[in-house]
Chain A
Amino acid sequence: MKVLVTGASGLLGGATARAIAAQGHAVRTFQRRPSGLAGEPGFEDHLGSVTDAAATARAVDGVDAIVHLAAKVSLAGDPADFRRVNVGGTGMLLNAARIAGVERFVFVSSPSVAHSGSSIVGDDARPADPERAHGDYARTKAEAELLALSRDSDALRVVVVRPHLVWGPGDTQLIERVVDRARSGRLPILDNGAALIDSVYVDNAASAIAAALRRVDAVHGNSYVVTNGEPRPVADILASICEAAGAPVPAWRVPASVARAAGSAVEALWSVKPGVDEPPMTRFLAEQLSTAHWFDQRRTRRDLEWTPEVSLDEGFRRLAAYYR
């Protein structure tokens, strides 16, 4: 079948497009910048924004399924922009899909849509909750997820995948910032660094999204958190990343209460780069990195008939190879 992947210029979008193509599908990518995949056989690149009705209609025309990753994830910006891209864009795509008779829709979301700031200890996906989600990104993603699920029907089958803390070689978000900070000796560990954090290696997140597309007929209407299922203390993860990149392992600690209380200070520490594709290091992330965030993956693995292929340690080895 022919599959439209939006937001394919990002790390996860690109990997997802490849994973879907590897299953034998024709892939059309749709985003504002070239995906970098267009030259390869089986890929077709459409440039444009999901906020542009005409471009969206053209992109959707003739596809059987849509995998929607494109979103505004930056820290700064007008709340209206988040709403326009994340909620409005998703609505535009859903409308176009209905008109074009698209049958399958995979919405890529984030566990933050159901996150209220407290620890997550082995929970399964909870319903998206715009009221309690922190920040414009999470709030609008929550609204968009609810919108997508509200359109789920036998004609248009919608499933939601929420990858948690995606990372891998070439990641400009988490990995690059951690490594940059560590190299300049400015990477702190919040509190004692013992909070258990689950994350997902990019190839695993991509294969999970591909699996959701494969299984959407059976599991539509549901949301699935996707992780490696290997929670580790946050200090452990940061140290592994630094080691892989040959950067000094962080040694100094900042009380998380201080970090959380002064969001701007944390934002300064983490040197926010606005306008990029993945969740930035913000007060929100400070919270994420000092409270436990790990998930019950049993339902995800059972329903999607999927298991992560790349272990955390294998992921760190690949990261080390990338930096060598």
Chain B
Amino acid sequence: MPGAARTPAPASMPPQGLPGLDSRFSRIALVPDSGDAIGTTRGWHALDNGAELDRLGVTPVGTILCVHGNPTWSYLWRELVQQATDVAATGSGDAWRVIAVDQLDMGFSERTGVHRPLAQRVRDLADFTLAIGLEGPVVTLGHDWGGVVSMGWAVDHPELLSGLMLLNTAIHQPSDAPIPAPLRLALARGVFGQATVATPAFLETTLALGHPAVSRAVKDAYRAPYRGAARRGGIGGFVADIPVDASHQSFAELSRISSALRRLTVPAVMLWGPRDPIFSDRYLDDLIDRLPHADVHRFEGAGHLIAEDVDYADALLTWLGDNAARVTTGAARSEQPTEDYADTVATGSKAALVEKASDDAGTGAAASDRPLWHYLDELSDSGETALVEMNPGNGAEPRVVSWKLLSRRVREIAAGLAGVGVKKGDRVSLLVQPGADLTAVLYACLRLGAVVVVADAGLGLPGLTRAVRGAQADHVIGAAPGLAAARALGWPGQKISVTTFPRAVARALGISHTLAELVRDGRGATLPEAPAPSDTAAILFTSGSTGPAKGVVYSHAQLGAIRDTLAAQYGVGVGTGLVAGFAPFALLGPALGARSVTPDMDVTSPKTLTATAVAQAAAAVDATVVFLSPAAVTNVVATADALTDAQRHALAGVQTFLSAGAPVSESLLAAAADLMPNASAHTPYGMTEGLLMTDISLDGIRAAAASRAVGGVCVGTPAASVQVRISALDDLGQPTGEPTTEAGVTGEIVVSAPHLKSNYDRLWMTDRASRVGTDSAFADRRDAGDASPGAVSAAAAAASTRTRWHRTGDVGHLDEAGRLWVEGRLPHVIATPDGVVTPVAPEQRVESLDRVARAAVVGVGPRGTQQIVVIVETASPARRVALADRELTSSIRGVAGVPVAAVLEVPRLPTDIRHNSKIDRSGLSRWAADVLAGGRMRQP
């Protein structure tokens, strides 16, 4: 350790007036040192709201023990100390004492002059809690290397511990992976002392990691205890203590803690900022592996200084509230539970949901016990066609795959994958275009129990990268472009190619295996045991059109329930010829026993699908069912003139036609139906979280139009086994109402079905928000914690019979006939002084004007007093953005049915690229607010 670091100095109080830090919370504790310097006393500075709680006359339910990392100090936790104290003062929740220490040699604690390796630091913290007489229950909270120290304390104090909270940290350095590059640099000979102690470089680098940037005043507060090399010895000591390999002094202690962690069953939560150059998702993945019951939330966009980037304090206090019964009671039972008990408790929130899901599915439809690969087994000797790929590439002839071949290929690939280490529960990212290869690989993964990660190419490369990184795939199976991207962008996981490359290319792409090898090696090999219905089957990423892409987790039972709902709703079964032009449903063809065909199209651009391609595909399998996306339907209608008589004949055989993905207009659906004169045309309502919630036929759309009802797009009646409720909006547009089936109530659409998602992946808060107020899942968990092992199982069983609900984020109402009408997205609800206004109905009325092609109705100004603005794309598009002319403004005010403050005309309304139909009202609202406040007339 550099010389300056050996200079001792006593503990001191932080200067007054640091932003966000109330000096009342600072205290100095004198703690006997149990280390090498027995007999000496160490001065600790800590933030502690204990005295303030006493003053308020509040008895805390427990203590949150916070440990900062390197090179920060207890200032990191100021917001939690403040919020917890505020909650205690107002009585708005449980009162928590918060103690945030400055570790020795750090912050304003004593400079001991002695190097303190990890084991010493863990002992130091124990000395501190002993000296101040800390009693349980204690929930630990750690960040960065403070996470490690806090976990060390946690495993050593089972009698006090009732919960574990972590922000970006790590507990294990895999032997096969190098430590993160920035730290390698900091540790390099010659750089180390300079970077960490002699200069404030390490400190400054860390402070630069805020997203958004940390303010100057806050940075200064972080710097306050580290002015001068003599005060920075601890920073260098910490960096030197990173156990780079097994020979390191602290390796044994790290291993001890990381192993002991697996035995912890107390509730745990991890909040993570993925933009962290040090503690990447890899370390989160490792922690999840050790604490599988933990609730996890990744804050997309946040980074290493997550405590500065997001409102972590509110998130943690919310989590503590949800888990109150367990984290506020004595912790003795959490130590070394019996095996049975561990199994039950360890399933925790996430797994319990999966369990419930499988039960739901069991009661939902009789066929649900059939695995997704049922027909691959049943038809394994059938020479009938299972799949047709119209354009396998390079202008080749259509590829026809029999059930027999598909079945065998799936088994071979599954066995081959098992042979190269793909296990049940492993995450496999699929970067393969729809077609025979994707289908075979998908069913092979399902059969193995590997979790399929599917991200829509429509997310774009940045979105896709975030998705794949976030999901932490263990394996990537892809074709050339996907693998090249995976390589270039450093996506994690073993790379498997569906095509065979020259050795050099394969090496360059980091490919370890090819599909051909897997098939060869898997031939005749025995398959591992099949997964259970409750096991996770897939993670589907949402389009991102309604926010950042989210991973949606489905179990086998839930995917089976989707299959069964599709079968029941559209009569797809064994032998049905199915044109699979809509990816999520298309992949279920083999599960349905259908003969499915992938039309010749660029899947990343559904609007390129032509009528001819659909007709050729239909002819190839004698299709009776056609699934298309809305963008594809538009183009199919536009290219219908090119159809030959034979092709029209093939389309005449279609009995059911489905446009899935977003609502389409009656005229478009009717035009498509004209091409399939014997088909009943349908459009379903659903979302990635629940793919088929309601359905409406073309006749239904016409009947709804004839009913002259006001307000939104009619999406029909609930599909089999689906329940729809409405949670009414308050004056500010918040869906606070108790979910109801009452007709005419406008509010958030809340759905339930056996085929609903299990949960969001690593988005505990999002998941919580999607269920809040719809069930008592949180209460169930708390109760479970309180009870004996037997009662826990009983509670779990009771919970499993309860219905799972999902808040869709869509707003609408039910009518007297039980039909659902969608009126827009929740964030698009306009909260005016006269009440809430949903956009879709006034948009439709405005669009009824001849001069208007498309309209968006948005709000500007503060919620509760918002003004309504109409933005239009005119039939003959405007050349530039402007206020609409007097006549148009006046006619729009005349029909809108709501008070209109302003009408703006734009050349083109911005829409979501993937669907080419969803108008970006949130963006338009921000744009209109700027223009109407006197801002520049720029393009939206």
Contacts and interface: CB of A to CB of B under 8 A. Distances in A.
Given A196-B901, A294-B861, A191 B867 contact: no
B421 interface: no
Interface string B821-844: 000000000000100000000000
Contact of A232 (B860, B901, B934, B937): B901
A324 interface: no
Given A121-B860, A194-B883, A296-B862, A231 B867 contact: yes
B315 interface: no
A203 B933 CA distance: 27
Interface stretch (A96-104, A163-171, A233-241): A233-241
Contacts of A229: 833
A122 B862 contact: yes
A298 B864 contact: yes
Interface in B889-940: 889, 899, 901-902, 904, 929, 931-934, 937
A32 B75 CA distance: 65
A81 interface: no
Interface in B580-601: none
Contacts of B216: none
A194 B902 contact: yes
A191 B867 CA distance: 21
Given A194-B883, A298-B864, A233 B833 contact: no
Nearest to A229: B833
Nearest to A196: B932
Given A121-B861, A298-B864, A230 B933 contact: no
B484 interface: no
A297 B833 contact: yes
A19 B861 CA distance: 32
Contacts of A195: 932-934
Contact of B902 (A122, A233, A298): A233
Interface in A283-320: 290-292, 294, 296-298, 301
B249 interface: no
Most buried by B among A292, A294, A297, A298: A292
A229 B834 CA distance: 11
Most buried by B among A232, A239, A290: A232
Nearest to B882: A192
B867 A294 contact: yes
A222 interface: no
The contact size tier of chain A is 20 to 34
Interface in A272-292: 290-292
A87 B158 CA distance: 72
A196 B860 contact: yes
B933 A196 contact: yes
Interface string A203-238: 000000000000000000000000001111101100
B933 A292 contact: yes
Nearest to B929: A121
Given A121-B860, A256-B934, A192 B865 contact: no
B901 A296 contact: no
A290 B883 contact: no
A294 B937 CA distance: 19
A304 to B, nearest CB: 14
Contact of B931 (A194, A230, A231, A243): A194
Given A196-B933, A249-B886, A292-B934, A297 B865 contact: yes
Contacts of A172: none
Contacts of B866: 122
Interface in B802-851: 833
A194 B904 contact: yes
Nearest to B731: A298
A236 B883 contact: yes
A195 to B, nearest CB: 4
Given A236-B883, A297-B865, A194 B934 contact: yes
A13 interface: no
A232 B864 CA distance: 18
A194 B889 CA distance: 13
A119 interface: yes
B902 A196 contact: yes
A314 to B, nearest CB: 13
Contacts of B932: 194-196, 233, 292
A163 B864 CA distance: 21
Contacts of A119: 933-934
B865 A236 contact: no
B867 to A, nearest CB: 6
Given A196-B932, A249-B886, A298 B901 contact: no
Contacts of A296: 833, 862, 864-865
Interface string B853-879: 000000011101111000000000000
A301 B834 CA distance: 11
A231 B931 CA distance: 14
A191 B938 CA distance: 13
Nearest to A120: B933
CB-CB nearest 8 A-B residue pairs: A122-B861, A292-B933, A296-B865, A195-B934, A291-B934, A122-B862, A119-B933, A196-B932
Interface of A: 119, 121-123, 191-196, 229-233, 235-236, 239, 243, 249, 256, 290-292, 294, 296-298, 301
27 contacts: A122-B861, A122-B865, A123-B862, A191-B934, A192-B883, A193-B883, A194-B883, A194-B904, A194-B932, A196-B867, A196-B902, A196-B932, A230-B901, A233-B883, A233-B902, A235-B883, A239-B886, A243-B886, A249-B886, A290-B934, A291-B934, A292-B932, A292-B934, A294-B861, A296-B865, A298-B864, A301-B833
Given A192-B883, A291-B933, 16 more contacts: A121-B933, A122-B862, A122-B865, A192-B882, A192-B931, A230-B901, A231-B867, A232-B902, A233-B901, A236-B889, A243-B886, A296-B833, A296-B862, A297-B833, A298-B833, A298-B865
Interface of B: 833, 860-862, 864-867, 882-883, 886, 889, 899, 901-902, 904, 929, 931-934, 937
